[in-house]
Chain A
Amino acid sequence: MRFALNRLVRACLTLLIVVALAFFILRMSADPAIVILGPDAPPAAMAAFREAWGLDRPLPIQFLDYVVAVLHGDFGRSMINGAPVLPLVLGRVPTTLAIMLPALLCAIGIGVPAGVFAALRRNTLADRCVMAASVAGFTMPSFVLGLLLVLVFAVTLGWLPSGGNDHWQSAILPVVTLAAGSAAVLARFTRGAMVEVLGQPYIRTASAKGLLWRAVVRRHALPNAAIPIVTMIGFMVGGLLAGAVVTESVFSWPGLGRLMVVSVASRDLAVVQCILLLVASTMVVANLTVDLLYGVLDPRLRRGGGAR
Chain B
Amino acid sequence: MTGTITGLAATRRRRLPFGVALAFAWVAGMLTIAVFADAIRPYSITALHLAARLTPPDGFGGSLAFPLGTDELGRDVLSRLVVSIRISLLIAFGATLLGMLVGATLGLLAAHLRGIVEQAVLLLIDVQAALPFIILALAVLAFFGNALPLLIALLGLYGWERHARLARGLALAAGTQGYVLAVRQIGAGPWRLYLRHVLPNIAATLIVSATLAFPEVILLESGLSFLGLGVQPPMTSLGNMVGYGRGYISNAPWIMLAPSAVIVLTTLAISIAGDWLRDRLDPTVG
Nearest to B265 among chain A residues (CB) is A139
Is A18 within 8 A of B260, CB to CB?
no
CB-based contact A246/B223 at 8 Å: yes
A144 and B260 contact, Cβ closer than 8 Å, known pairs A14-B130, A238-B132: yes
Partner of A272, one of B129, B139, B239, B268: B139
Seen from chain B, the residues whose Cβ lies within 8 Å of a Cβ on chain A are 123-124, 126-127, 129-136, 138-145, 215, 219, 222-223, 226-229, 239, 242-243, 246, 249-250, 253, 256, 260, 263-264, 267-268, 271-272
Contacting pair B263 A144 (CB below 8 A): yes
A261:B123 contact, CB within 8 angstroms = no
Instruction: Assess the B126–A139 pair: CB atoms within 8 A.
Output: no
Q: Is there an interface contact between B143 and A30, defined as CB atoms closer than 8 Å? A: yes
Instruction: Point out residues on A near B: beta carbons under 8 Å.
Output: 10, 13-15, 17-18, 21-22, 25-26, 29-30, 35, 135-136, 139-144, 147-148, 150-151, 155, 235, 238-239, 241-242, 245-246, 249-250, 260-261, 264-265, 267, 272, 275-276, 279-280, 283-284, 287
Of B123, B239, B264, which one neighbours A14 at CB under 8 angstroms?
Answer: B123
How distant is B245 from chain A, measured CB to nearest CB, in Å?
Answer: 8
The 7 closest A-B pairs by CB, nearest first: A29-B143, A242-B132, A264-B142, A139-B267, A144-B260, A139-B268, A283-B130
Tell me the minimal C-beta distance from B234 to chain A in angstroms: 20
Q: In whole angstroms, how far apart are the Cα atoms of A82 and B244 in the complex?
A: 33
B140-A29 in contact (CB<8A):
yes
**B144 lies within 8 A of A144 (CB):** no
Bound-complex Cα distance A267 to B139 (A): 9
Please give, as numbers and ranges, the residues of chain A lying within 8 Å of B135 by CB-CB distance. 241-242, 245, 260, 275-276, 279
Closest A residue to B268 by beta carbon equals: A139
- Docked Cα-Cα span, A147 to B228, in Å, equals 16
In the complex formed, the residue of A with least CB distance to B275 is A135
Known contacts being A10-B126, A245-B138, is A141 close to B264, with CB within 8 Å?
yes
User: A161 to B184, alpha carbons, bound, how many Å?
Assistant: 67
Q: A246 and B143: CB pair below 8 A?
A: no
Q: Are the C-beta atoms of A151 and B253 separated by less than 8 Å?
A: yes
